[in-house]
Chain A
Amino acid sequence: MRFRAKILDVACLNHFTRVINTIAKLAKTCTLRLTPGKLYFILTDKVANGGVSMWCELSQGNFFDEFQMEGVAAEHNEIYLELMPENLSRALKTAQNAKTVKIKLTNKHCPCLTVAVELPSLASSSRIVTHDIPVAVIPRRLWNDFKEPSVPDFDVSIYLPVLKTMKSVVERMKNLSNSIVIEANLNGEMNLKIETDLVSVTTHFKDLGNPPWVLDGDSQNSTQDRDPETMAEARVDIKKLQQLLAGQQVNPTKALCNIVSKRIVHFILLHEDVYLQYFIPALA
């Protein structure tokens, strides 16, 4: 099992760092899946995570100037590692003006992802900072736990409002309540509601637009028969929603959510070359 990658371009490095920062805000520990063409950051819906799950996919060619990997075996040319994205975020934080950043899989006191940053210096030789991030290698027999989630059979799909606005609304609401109701209809309307003993607050968004899904099977028929005014709603943990929004440092190219009434809210965020899916289950 081998992995070596190198980033030479400053813009790519900044972009990669932003992606890692977003992931670090969403998960304390997650799985990194490496394939010859893509990197995936995966969080499965275990009870420990509060039932949220995440799937983030990046094309390595958009970030790395060099990328070589050898998986566990020829037929299974992939590597699955468990790590704390916060460590990766910290390692990249002070590397923003680096000449090169190399990431490789090493075996020091334990399996590590070593990030070696070459920094400019006034002396003849560059300054090198290495960060050894401990990882756990996930054995092949557990790989099935990390399959790409399928798009759920949703009741309503709607584009999200400007995330910055949504973020500031949710942040204020977080001070008042632990849960928030997200509801939307096929008329491009979305409401965010909180209700406590003392106060209830609702923010209304209009003219958001509904994405045109083309699905096989009967599921699409039920959506087409649906009354456009009827709201599909789910009550979720407000902190999970706030974490998702706080992690978005740049406005995505496409942002939408699919609501399965009273069951789950599925977010899809597409930012240039990064594809992020995030699931927040409804509270009982």
Chain B
Amino acid sequence: MKCVVIGGNVKVLGKAVHALSRIGDELYVEPTENGLSLRAVNSSRSAYACFLFAPLFFQLYEAGGPDAHGELFRCKVLMKTFLAIFRSLPSLEKTVSKCLISLNPRASRLVVQLHYKYGVTKTHNLSFQECELLQAIFDKQLCTSTLCASARVLVDAVVHFPVTLAEVTLGVGPSGKVSLRNYVDEETEPSKTMVTELCLSEDEFQDVRVPQETQVTFCLKEFRGLLSFAESSNLPLSIHFDTPGRPAVFSLEDPLLEVHLVLATLADSNASSQAQTANGACHKCAADEDFAVDDLESYMIAMETTTVPLPVLWVSADTVAGQSSPYSQPRGAGRGQ
């Protein structure tokens, strides 16, 4: 794969890498027919982000030829290393005129070359690892509710919450009032925690299609990463969500770039206590990469007692191929660690 980014798009690429770095420790680089896809997932599989840059985003884009299995070569690199190349966005904007990225399966390095003013060129050779396909299962069309707003509105909304806040609850009430509230989990004493709630009226949004009152709780930290990208791109942000527990999808679209952030949402804590215990157990076990037998049992219990099937955020290539190890079962959406 070989691609060249020039001018202002170098900064856009840099900002995308910054947003992805808020999600996971590894950057998945995947050239496709439709463009270059950069993806990341967090360790508990509760957050997934994908930036797809169309061929027109680049001055030059060559996806490379398919291998013996008919697949294009893909790899993953350490996020820290890739981010370091694009660390300083102001200097990228001012001094970098061209960025060349090339991935040769036969070579053992991913090459990122930045061409600066005054004839300086910096070449970074990153080692990579081959990897499986990283693809979250989600379908925006299946989400019952949609909100669309300019990033500015949302950025101004989240500024009222402390930077360290983990989770936020987005609710749509009667008469289209949209609220954002910090989520206080059951373990924290309510009389010790400050509760902040922001109400936005329907007309601050470009589109509100929410058939019934609903509330979803998701991780704010990962959402903030996307928000700061959205703010600089000036594109409207759409939020697609469904019932609590089903993943929420945040997306930005434009002819050159498609961005999706999929976040797991908390299963409804207002449900009956039995279901609550089940959901609680599910959160804990989803956090472990390897299920211990006990946790798997409670996970199984959760499957049985809740009427809404637990969200399937994540399917690995193994499962798609039909291997039957219990440990590669579709994993529930737990909270990110």
Contact = CB atoms under 8 A, between A and B. Distances in A.
B194 A91 contact: yes
B192 interface: yes
A123 B162 CA distance: 25
Contacts of A90: 162, 194
Nearest to A125: B201
Given A94-B159, A94-B160, A122-B204, A130 B191 contact: no
Contacts of A110: 190-191
Interface in A103-146: 108-110, 121-125, 127-134
Contact of A131 (B159, B195, B199, B200): B195
Interface residues of B, number: 19
Assign chain A's interface to a size class. Answer: 20 to 34
B154 to A, nearest CB: 12
B150 to A, nearest CB: 10
The majority secondary structure among interface residues of chain B is: mixed
B256 interface: no
A87 interface: yes
Nearest to A111: B191
Contacts of A127: 156-157, 198-201, 204
B201 A91 contact: no
B274 interface: no
Nearest to B150: A122
B195 A132 contact: yes
Contacts of A124: 201, 203
23 contacts: A87-B194, A90-B194, A94-B159, A109-B190, A122-B204, A123-B200, A123-B201, A125-B201, A125-B203, A127-B201, A128-B199, A129-B196, A129-B197, A129-B199, A130-B197, A130-B198, A131-B197, A132-B196, A133-B194, A134-B190, A134-B191, A134-B192, A134-B193
Interface of A: 87, 90-91, 94, 108-110, 121-125, 127-134
Among all A-B residue pairs, the 6 with the closest Cβ atoms:
A110-B191, A123-B203, A132-B195, A87-B194, A123-B204, A129-B198
Given A91-B196, A110-B190, A123-B204, 6 more contacts: A90-B162, A90-B194, A121-B201, A128-B198, A129-B197, A130-B197
